[in-house]
Amino acid sequence: MAQDYQDIIYTKKDGIATMSFNRPQVLNAFRPRTIDEMIEAFQDAWYDDSIGVAVLTGERGNFSSGGDQKIRGHGGYEDEGGTPRLQVRNLHRLIREIPKPVIAKVDGYAIGGGHVLHVICDLTLASDRAIFGQTGPKVGSFDAGFGAMYLARIVGEKKAREIWYLCLQYSAQEALEMGLVNKVVPQAELDAETERWCKLILEKSPTSIRMMKFGFNADTDHGYGLQALAHSATSLFYTSEEAREGRMAFLEKRKPDFDEFRRSPW
């Protein structure tokens, strides 16, 4: 079964709901509509009793390259009417709170806000050509909410700081070595392996799985306050000249020059 969306593909089959970013022209970068559609799909999967597991993925060989820098305006990511209103905070919450495991199936780029999304998912399966990394400090952005705190829980403080401060790209094998993904398989086997993991979950007691998810979440649920503060800080930051320099440098395909912002008033 498929539902009609513009920016995502949402399907349900044999107990598995699959939400797939579908903006290949920008490597599956997301805009407000994309996130709205994802939220609707996750809410549908939440309340559909035939669904036991959700898979978050992307079309045409990439997971997601994060926020769409081409529609980022002075105050953030703008909808088609020109209003900045990206609901990604609510999507983060939904992925954490939906009482069913969410598996990130990553092929190609999981970068920036796309990387944060896979981090938040319960499990990540990667193809051997997947590439992981944060780019915020290069393009004048940051996710100091779960993108910092939960990432550090997974890979450790030193590695998480390296990921955000250096903005390097990491191979699937490197991601596996730092505990950032659960398993790496050849690209041709990614779909089958994901289906196999889903089936293994679907064989289990749904209530046991649900309670385990809540139990795992409980330790980091205090991050919601941090997340609200952090994402609001990002929205404020977007209106600054420093953030503008990052965005413009990406659009103009040049290196950003942040030198004049070394002494910040913040």
Ligand X SMILES: CC(C)(COP(=O)(O)OP(=O)(O)OC[C@H]1O[C@@H](n2cnc3c(N)ncnc32)[C@H](O)[C@@H]1OP(=O)(O)O)[C@@H](O)C(=O)NCCC(=O)NCCSC(=O)c1cc(O)c2ccccc2c1O
- The reply on whether position 32 binds ligand X by CB under 6 A is no
Backbone region of residue 111 per phi and psi (left: phi > 0; alpha: psi in -120 to 50; beta: other values): beta
- The reply on whether position 106 binds ligand X by CB under 6 A is no
Sheet of 2-3: strand order equals 2-3, 8-13, 16-21, 53-58, 102-106, 123-127, 183-185
- Contact pattern for ligand X over residues 209 through 238, marking x by CB under 6 A: ----------------------x--x----
Nearer to ligand X, 79 or 195 (CB): 79
Sheet of 109-111: strand order equals 109-111, 131-133, 170-171
What is the 8-class DSSP label of residue 100?
S
3-state SS string for 31-96: CHHHHHHHHHHHHHHHHCCCCCEEEEEECCCCCECCECHHHEECCEEECCCCCECCCHHHHHHHHH
- The reply on whether position 108 binds ligand X by CB under 6 A is no
**Residue 111 counted as an annotated binding residue:** yes
Considering the complex, what minimum distance in angstroms separates the CB of residue 152 from ligand X?
A: 16
- The size of the interface with ligand X (CB under 6 A), counted in residues, is 24
**Residue 238 counted as an annotated binding residue:** yes
> Structure tokens of 73?
């305006």
Considering the complex, what minimum distance in angstroms separates the CB of residue 218 from ligand X?
A: 23
Near ligand X by CB under 6 A: residue from 5, 42, 109, 132: 109
Near ligand X by CB under 6 A: residue from 19, 27, 102, 130: 27
What is the 8-class DSSP label of residue 24?
G
- The reply on whether position 66 binds ligand X by CB under 6 A is yes
- The reply on whether position 34 binds ligand X by CB under 6 A is no
Q: Which residues are annotated as a binding site for hydrogencarbonate?
A: 134-136
Residues that bind ligand X (CB under 6 A): 26-27, 29, 65-70, 86, 88, 109, 111-113, 135-136, 139, 141-143, 231, 234, 250
